[in-house]
Amino acid sequence: MSVYQNLIRPLLFRLPAEDASHLAALTLRLWPIWGALRAVNGFESSDLSTEIAGIPIGNPVGLAAGLDKDCEILPALSRLGFGYLTCGTVTLDPRPGNPQPRLIREQGRDALINSMGFPNKGLASAVEKIERDRHRCGDTPIVVSVSGTEVDDIVECHRKVEPLAHAVEINISSPNTKGLRIFHSPHVLDSLLGAIDAERSKKPLFVKIPPFPSEGEDAESHDSALSLVDVCLSNRVDALTVANTHPVNDARLKVGSGGSSGKPVYEPMLRMVSEVRQRVGDETCINASGGIFTAQDAWAAIEAGANTVQTLTGLVYRGPNVARDIAKGLAELVERRGIEGIAQLRYDGMIRL
Ligand X SMILES: Cc1cc2nc3c(=O)[nH]c(=O)nc-3n(C[C@H](O)[C@H](O)[C@H](O)COP(=O)(O)O)c2cc1C
* Sheet bearing 103-106, strands edge to edge: 103-106, 111-114, 257-262, 246-249
Q: How far apart are CA 9 and CA 32, in angstroms?
A: 22
- Which residue in the list 78, 174, 260, 261 is annotated as catalytic? 174
How far, in Å, are 73, 206, 238, 338 from residue 344 at the CA level? 33, 22, 20, 10
Nearest-approach distance from CB 202 to ligand X, in angstroms: 23
Q: Report the residue number, 116 or 304, with the smaller CB distance to ligand X.
A: 116
Burial class (CB within 10 angstroms; exposed 0-12, middle 13-18, buried 19+) of 166: buried
Q: How far apart are CA 260 and CA 269, in angstroms?
A: 12
Q: Give the x-and-dash track for 82-111 against ligand X (CB under 6 A).
A: -------x-------------x--------
DSSP state, 47?
G
Q: How far apart are CA 113 and CA 213, in angstroms?
A: 17
Sign of the dihedral defined by the CA atoms of residues 53, 59, 63, 68, in that order: negative
Q: What DSSP element (H or E) covers 227?
A: helix 219-234
Footprint on residues 139-158 left by ligand X (CB under 6 A):
145
Q: Report the residue number, 208 or 277, with the smaller CB distance to ligand X.
A: 208
Q: Which residue has the CB atom at the shortest distance from ligand X? A: 66
234: three-class secondary structure by DSSP: helix
Stretch that binds ligand X, among 127-135, 186-194, 215-223, 285-293 (CB under 6 A): 285-293
Footprint on residues 265-284 left by ligand X (CB under 6 A):
265
Q: How far apart are CA 310 and CA 308, in angstroms?
A: 7
Q: How far apart are CA 140 and CA 122, in angstroms?
A: 23
Nearest-approach distance from CB 334 to ligand X, in angstroms: 22
Nearest-approach distance from CB 298 to ligand X, in angstroms: 11
65 lines the binding site for ligand X (CB under 6 A)? yes
Q: Report the residue number, 50 or 261, with the smaller CB distance to ligand X.
A: 261
3: three-class secondary structure by DSSP: helix
Active site residue 174: yes
Site residue total, ligand X (CB under 6 A)? 27
Burial class (CB within 10 angstroms; exposed 0-12, middle 13-18, buried 19+) of 92: buried
121 lines the binding site for ligand X (CB under 6 A)? no
Q: Report the residue number, 47 or 120, with the smaller CB distance to ligand X.
A: 120
Nearest-approach distance from CB 292 to ligand X, in angstroms: 5
Stretch that binds ligand X, among 39-47, 195-203, 258-266, 321-329 (CB under 6 A): 258-266
Which position among 78, 98, 114, 274 is part of the footprint of ligand X (CB under 6 A)? Answer: 114
308 lines the binding site for ligand X (CB under 6 A)? no
Q: Report the residue number, 55 or 111, with the smaller CB distance to ligand X.
A: 111
Q: How far apart are CA 237 and CA 215, in angstroms?
A: 28
66 lines the binding site for ligand X (CB under 6 A)? yes
Stretch that binds ligand X, among 128-136, 155-163, 210-218, 311-319 (CB under 6 A): 311-319
Q: Report the residue number, 65 or 345, with the smaller CB distance to ligand X.
A: 65
What are the residues binding ligand X (CB under 6 A)? 64-66, 69, 89, 103, 112, 114, 116, 118, 145, 171, 174, 208, 244-245, 261-262, 265, 289-292, 311-314
Catalytic residues: 174
